[in-house]
Structure 1
Amino acid sequence: MTPRQLHAFVAVAQTLSFARACERLHMSQPALSLAIRSLEDSLGGRLLSRTTRQVQLTPEGAALLPQALQLLADWDNVRERSRQQFTLRRGHVTIAAMPSFAGNVLPKILQEFRGRFPNIEISVHDVIHEDVVRMVATGRVELGFGFEPDGANQLRFEPLFTDRFVAIVPPQSPLAEARSITWAQLLDNNFIALQRPSTVRSLLEASLAERNMELRVGVECHQLVTIGQFVASSLGVSAVPHLCEKQMIALGARSVPLSRPSIRKAVGLITRTDQQLSTAAEAIRQAMVAAT
């Protein structure tokens, strides 16, 4: 059955007149008769009893009519929902983002996006970078925001900006008054780091090893927020992406530019190479690219 055939049948069944059904559907009578005959052939029996004076429904036609009406209503609903998704009048997007990105970059972007498309539902998973990559790779989310993944052939990375690491020190530390400090100065203090296999931890260790420097860790934890709290409580010092600077300051720590070496890492959009983005997800991607 096709929607065209069902529309033809419903029009005749409701008017009990081929002439009036033709007027309703703006079809010629031969075309209408062909649509009804094709429907009957596909179902294997007569739906209408037609004489020179009147048209009547057969028992099978009477049974089909309410089902045909429901099918056409469902068809229209599906078509309208799809049209709304393509025109961004409705839809749903799932995103995974590093906490530093989710808390410092996403809010403004999503606020502007929601102002333009208020009926698009957005789910944000603020998770560590490793989980961002995993959720995109397994298809749990459409968009991921994080560092460039290593060796992930099935993933596409679109850089948005380059972030640099800054030193985070206690407010009472002499380093807090410095205009800039070196890694050698920072590592003379008790260092607080994220636990392995954190991408941030691995990046710092690899970058320092290239310069024959060792990241000696005194305290480990799982969350950047905890690092900020520990530093603010004078448990030690740390280094975090510049994205986290405002958050660290809000927790009571001080941020100081860090050099020798200056460690930087591209931050961007992660998607699957074999998956086309939905219209809503593509709109968010474009908004992100435009804003950064």
Structure 2
Amino acid sequence: MTGLRKLVQRLEELTPIDRAGRPTAAFVRRLTASDPVKNVLSGTWLGHQLHPVLTDLPIGAWTMATALDLTAGRRADDAARRLVGIGVLTAVPAAAAGASDWSETYGGEQRVGIVHALANSTGTVLQVAAWFARRGGHRATGVALSATGLGITLGAAYLGGYLSFTRGVGVDHTAFQSAVTDWTDVAAVSAIQDDKPLRVTAGDVPVMLVRHNGELHALSATCTHAGGPLDEGQLVDGCIRCPWHSSTFRLDDGSVVRGPATADEPAWQLKIEGDRVLVRR
């Protein structure tokens, strides 16, 4: 295990961070509670998380500004200053999308996330200061501030990568479920009550069965967003709403209609033989 990994894991255990993290997350959840806002910031319309896409813009702009500082000198001062400004402007929507995603995390992930956000904020403030220094003719100060801000931002990016690729924040929680291609007997027809989701298992995959308006539906029971139990969710207008973060999916095809989920819920084929329900995917 690398020293950086050990450091981040210790950060996950710093429970005093919760005194700031929990109320801040609750505040952000209130700000992003409406369906349109949550869908836009989560990337529901995009098909995957929006935040990682947006972060490329400020990081790329600030990296190129520093590259120009190091390789072109004063000849590229105007271009470098413009790149710093572009990075600052694009950091705002990236931060908004990231805050929306972070507000749905808990425990160690939330602790690492708030440090990630604070580091990014610090880096952005330094870039703002760098822009004003450059504009005022203080090139050396501007270059130093930009380089320092970029270093802090890259450190924050490491934390973001840890959350995504080590802890699976924002990863489709059904992506690695086994394929069940054979028709599999999972329940008796009589066991499925109207508008009361039933959790069954096909192979080793949890599946939710529900009868709504006289029609049977089958979706994977694991929410794509964070692995919540959809079978414990609420039926709303022909959809199932996850009890953990309110991600909402259509019963007929599993398409996501409300974030923070961005991936559709896997829909299963089903058929009835006698008094038994069979499914496959």
Which one has a larger percent strand, Structure 1 or Structure 2? 1
Which one has a larger percent helix, Structure 1 or Structure 2? 2
* TM-score of the aligned structures, taking structure 1 as reference length: 0.28
* TM-score of the aligned structures, taking structure 2 as reference length: 0.29
Q: Which structure: larger Rg?
A: 1
Higher relative contact order (CA 8 A, sep 6+): 1
